[in-house]
Structure 1
Amino acid sequence: MPDLLTPKQLAEYLQLSQRTIYRLLDRDQIPAFKVGGQWRFRKSAVDYWLDLRMHQLESAHLHEMQAGVDEPALSLGAVLREENALIAVPAGAVSDVVQALVSRVTFPERVDADLVVQRVVEREALCSTASPEGVALLHTARWEPRVLAAHDLLAVGRLSEPIDFGALDGGRTDMLFLILARNERDQLVLLAKVARLCREPVFVDGLREASAAAEVVALVEATERRVFGSRSA
């Protein structure tokens, strides 16, 4: 895909309608410039913007982003293994928390765990992924090489106590998602889905109250079906 995109190309890339793209333009919510009176977008700039703003997008936009991809492999339930569904993480500094979570994850393939920690911490340093719901969506930057070659991964961590994770509203964070994908497209969809589910108060409360990993897996699958429909089952 070229780095310079038209509104139509950007809509296809982001799995959004052109109407949504123009709505974002009207609100000055997406980086763009005009060439000969026509809107153009640099893919690299949009990737940077999206990585920083994903968890702040409207619920409708998050829903729309994943709707264009109809693949069972992109179901959250398909990439959340029970051994990664309720990981106890001790409270601490952001870098220590990331290290602790990654060290407890069961990966589906050989990875450089130190590199995963480094990339996630570097991404958090750009702008915290912590949301007002008390959840951080940990991932590597979209423009960095993938740390997984053949699989997508979702892991859920629960902190021993809420900490300051850098949320824009100043709130504290006690739940963590680690989202790693084999390619940019999968990462976009998985991030959009997790961010959308975390807008559901019952979902986040359920994560906090779960007493077993199987409960978390069931909660993710049930909420995914309810929010996105049977296509995500």
Structure 2
Amino acid sequence: MHEIMTIEEVAAYLRVSERTVYDWAQKGDLPGGKLGTTWRFKRSEVQRWVDRHLGGTSPAPVPASPNALTLQTILAPERTVLIESEFKEEALGQLARVLSTSPLIGDARELEEAIFKREALMSTGIGCGIGVPHVRLDSVKDLVMALGICKVPLRDYVAIDEVPVQVVCMVAASSTQHPQYIRALSAISSRLKAVSVRQSLFAATSAAAAYRVFAG
């Protein structure tokens, strides 16, 4: 076994999600360091950290199950915005820039280009006033999302039911995260099936209010 471990290897070793390892490392809870822009960990230090926490001297943070994806784990209040534009291209560009403020996005330009390329292939308007633009890229470190509430419906955002899009959920994931990616899209769809949730989002007058409604 290599002494130097990646986030993926630490996650597998600890049996938690890669996001949990990333969050612990960012907060300084888990010993590690960056080589350039990439997190690396010494196996011996990780083992001591595990021994210390499992030994009962200090409780470890309680991780979420890797399979228990929740909307709160991928969306943050600062990535929830009101969109002023009434045009799809401007709205997607604004939301891509918002999403790129996350440290999990490694290349903001690549993200925006991928979003527009994906949209050119087929509209991500799923009906009921909802759009879910989504991509998987090598430069994305972990699953992350931004939420945009359009003050004016985007009439040029084509949806299968021809209802103008008013809520845009933009999702990005690593190229290796197909299962997590599918679960995230499913969780978003399930949340927005409720008419009351959609109506509350359409009526939201602030980003904070929209986040509270969406995150539940």
- Coarse TM-score class (shorter-chain normalised): 0.5 to 0.7
* Shift in Å, 1:95: 3.0
Which one has the largest radius of gyration?
2
The aligned residue for residue 198 of structure 1 is 192
Instruction: Tell me how far apart the structure 1 counterparts of residues 211 and 201 of structure 2 sit (CA, whole Å).
Output: 10
TM-score where L is the length of structure 1:
0.57
Compared CA separation, residues 110 and 130, structure 1 to 2 (3 A): closer
Per-residue CA deviations over 1:54-109 (Å, capped at 9, x if unaligned) read xxxxxxxxxxxxxxx953762111221111123424222x3332112212332133
AA in 2 matched with 1:170: E
The aligned residue for residue 215 of structure 2 is 221
1:152 aligned to 2:143?
yes
The aligned residue for residue 102 of structure 2 is 107
Structure with a larger share of its residues in helix = 1
What pairs with 1:1-233 in structure 2 (closer than 5 Å)? 70-71=65-66, 74-92=69-87, 94-105=88-99, 106-140=101-135, 145-149=137-141, 151-162=142-153, 163-182=155-174, 183-222=177-216
CA RMSD of aligned residues (A): 2.3
Q: SS where residue 190 of structure 1 aligns?
A: helix
Q: Does the 8 Å contact 1:197/1:203 carry over to 2?
A: yes
Q: SS where residue 127 of structure 2 aligns?
A: coil
Q: Does the 8 Å contact 2:84/2:152 carry over to 1?
A: no
Q: SS where residue 206 of structure 1 aligns?
A: helix
Per-residue CA deviations over 1:129-159 (Å, capped at 9, x if unaligned) read 112211100111x5xx33412x321111122
Where structure 1 has 5 or more consecutive residues not aligned to the other structure, the ranges are 1-68, 223-233
Instruction: Tell me how far apart the structure 2 counterparts of residues 174 and 78 of structure 1 sit (CA, whole Å).
Output: 23
Instruction: Tell me how far apart the structure 2 counterparts of residues 148 and 73 of structure 1 sit (CA, whole Å).
Output: 20
Compared CA separation, residues 221 and 95, structure 1 to 2 (3 A): closer
The aligned residue for residue 19 of structure 1 is none
Structure with a larger share of its residues in strand = 2
Q: Does the 8 Å contact 1:77/1:217 carry over to 2?
A: no
Compared CA separation, residues 71 and 181, structure 1 to 2 (3 A): same
TM-score where L is the length of structure 2:
0.61
The number of residue pairs the alignment matches comes to 149
* Shift in Å, 1:193: 0.7
